[in-house]
A and B are shown apart, each in its own frame.
Chain A
Amino acid sequence: MVNAIKGVFISCDIPMAQYIINMNASVPASDKFIIHILDSTHMFVQPQVEQMIRSQIAKFREDNTYVKPN
């Protein structure tokens, strides 16, 4: 019988993919969310982490921005 798993399919560029994989590795074993890594730009993750990934990426982006103090 075929197995069907529900989740979220992520399509992004290579640096972001590595960031997500790194995020997955730093999280404790019970919380690991990547189900399959399909190739360097696509992966399949659990459905509930979508929001968490977005907020982490936004935070990462803001950490790397410098705003000149006015």
Chain B
Amino acid sequence: MPEVRIIAKNFMDMVASMPAMKLDKLYENGFICEAILRSLPPLGKKYVLQLLHIDVPVAAKLLEEWVLPDGYTKHRVAIDRLVQLRVFVEAVDRKNDKTYKLNPTFQKSLQQLLVHGGTLPREPMPSNITVRLPNLEDLEAYALQQWECFLLQLISSSLVEKPSNISSSLMKVFQRRLLSQRDKEAPKLTESGFQFLLMETNAQLWYIIREYISNSEERGVDAADLISFMLELSFHVIGEAYNINSLTDFQRSIIRDLADLGLVKLQQGRKESWFIPTKLATNLSVSLADSSSRKEGFVVVETNFRVYAYSTSRLHCEILRLFSKVEYQLPNLIVGAITKESLYNAFENGITAEQIISFLQQNAHPRVADRTPTVPENVTDQIRLWESDLNRVEMTEAYYYDEFPSRVCKLVSEMYLKVHVTLPENGTVCYGKTRRKCTWWLRPGYIHTYESIYAAKSRSKMQRPYGMVHLHPANVLWKTRKQKFALSFAPWKGNRWKKQWGHTLGHYSLLV
């Protein structure tokens, strides 16, 4: 089964991949600098703060001296990240040493932020105008409901035609990766769509935002403005109302889309209208690793393969229907069973056993969440066994070479045999067979599977197989002018691989 996985990449990776000019423009905003600072690894944060008020370039060697020798890899990771985000500017000074300096725009914005404190471009509205302000729980319920409605659109548009109240721009975001639509059929969920449904909420949110931003380029909206607005939004206080008039036209059009997703709530008073950011909005600048908010789980899995989900949401029902057979649906409970057929269905749709198991573990009901293991081992083992049952046979394209003339094969043990082959595509497995006095040895580093390698006895009349070599591009030694690739084999002495290189006897060309 092909392993197609969608990776929930961090928002910051997307920011890092933007071109230099746009990134510099982004850094003029103090909040973006703060968001980027938050996303750096701890060493990176330290370096930025230490170099914040230094105007001259600092030698790279000096930075290395700040770290103990066993922290060197962390140091390298931090420096690479900083250079990638263009926070650090690399230069070479007169003595040809590498130096680092903070990006001037970044430096200025951050200094201003520290000195003046972060003031949002808008103030929360006074409470005499904002009546009917929802309290925090209502807000969270609203956000959850909008998000579920959005996701339900994803599932039900693949099952049933339903009028959608979500703007067309957001639907396009969906259709790009998650739904595949053919001309007369109803839109169907793709493999990535199924995997998307089983991801965590935060990961799903970033995926959608990332698609939305990459989509915006096609619509003519500037990605940098969009990112700066979103990062600004993540610094607003949850539950406080902000006047819509304080937004630019461009931002106003975005706000409507964000309200559909559940990131903000729009409300209207007598004269003014305002928006209230929810928890989903403030989660935008939080990195994937430290997701602290753990919403309540609802799934109990028992050792008899039954699944009880204490939930009223349709979305949960649909997700459970993906991999289990839902038997009863009561007002507050969904009862189902994990069966072989339901799992085979899920595997055919491209979901892997690991995703199902991690979904069950992450959404475990608080009653069972404390027990280890959260999901019973017999269930997890059986899910994995059923998955591997579908993959019992592995087939790869290969070429079979035989009848090497014995002249080439009379090798002394320290010699190499170099064989030139042309690779039609990557990773072809090549199986070699030799005659009796043959010597076809394979070096351990180049072998991916060598379970069935036998040493040829020189007196044996039987032609014994020699083993498999996986012709992976990493095994390529050099390219000749005619674009042929070379493979090399090293000697096997008795039972052990000899680890040294010898010199070559000659080479042999095979054209396939």
Contact = CB atoms under 8 A, between A and B. Distances in A.
A36 B433 CA distance: 11
Given A38-B465, A42-B452, A67-B341, A8 B395 contact: yes
B328 to A, nearest CB: 13
Given A2-B402, A3-B400, 6 more contacts: A1-B403, A2-B401, A4-B399, A8-B397, A36-B433, A36-B465
Interface of A: 1-13, 16, 20, 35-36, 38-39, 41-42, 44, 47, 50, 53-54, 57, 61, 65, 67
A16 B512 CA distance: 30
Contact of A3 (B341, B402, B451): B402
B397 A35 contact: no
Interface string B367-410: 00000000000000000000001001111111111111100000
| Most A Cβ at <10 Å: residue of B341, B394, B400, B433 | B400
A28 B61 CA distance: 74
A6 B425 CA distance: 13
Contacts of A38: 431, 452, 465
Interface in B450-468: 451-452, 465, 468
Nearest to A20: B393
19 contacts: A1-B403, A1-B405, A2-B401, A2-B405, A2-B510, A4-B400, A7-B397, A8-B397, A9-B398, A12-B392, A12-B394, A16-B393, A36-B400, A36-B433, A38-B431, A44-B431, A54-B395, A57-B392, A65-B340
Contacts of B510: 2, 4
B449 interface: yes
B465 to A, nearest CB: 5
B344 to A, nearest CB: 10
Closest 9 CB pairs of A and B: A9-B398, A12-B393, A5-B400, A39-B452, A11-B394, A9-B429, A4-B512, A9-B396, A16-B392
Contact of A7 (B392, B398, B449, B468): B398
A11 B397 contact: no
A5 B393 CA distance: 21
Interface string B438-481: 00000000000101100000000000010010000000000000
A39 B451 CA distance: 10
Contacts of B508: 2
Contacts of A42: 452, 468
Nearest to B402: A3
A20 B392 CA distance: 12
A36 B463 CA distance: 12
B348 to A, nearest CB: 11
A61 B452 contact: no
| Most A Cβ at <10 Å: residue of B397, B404, B405 | B397
Contact of B393 (A1, A47, A54): A54
Interface string B405-420: 1000000000000000
B401 A3 contact: yes
Contacts of A50: 395
A35 B398 CA distance: 12
Given A16-B393, A38-B465, A6 B399 contact: yes
Contacts of B340: 65, 67
Contacts of B403: 1-3
A53 B393 contact: yes
B388 to A, nearest CB: 10
Contacts of A6: 397-400, 512
A8 B396 contact: yes
Nearest to A62: B344
A5 B399 contact: yes
A47 B389 CA distance: 23
A49 B452 CA distance: 24
Contacts of A8: 395-398
A11 B394 CA distance: 5
Contacts of B395: 8-11, 50, 53-54
Nearest to B428: A9
Nearest to A9: B398
A6 B422 CA distance: 13
B452 A9 contact: no
| Most A Cβ at <10 Å: residue of B394, B398, B468 | B398
Given A2-B510, A4-B510, A9-B429, A44 B404 contact: no
A57 B395 CA distance: 13
A60 to B, nearest CB: 10
A29 to B, nearest CB: 21
A70 B422 CA distance: 56
Contact of A61 (B389, B405, B465): B389
Contact of B394 (A2, A10, A35): A10
Nearest to B432: A2
Contacts of B468: 9, 42
Interface string B77-114: 00000000000000000000000000000000000000
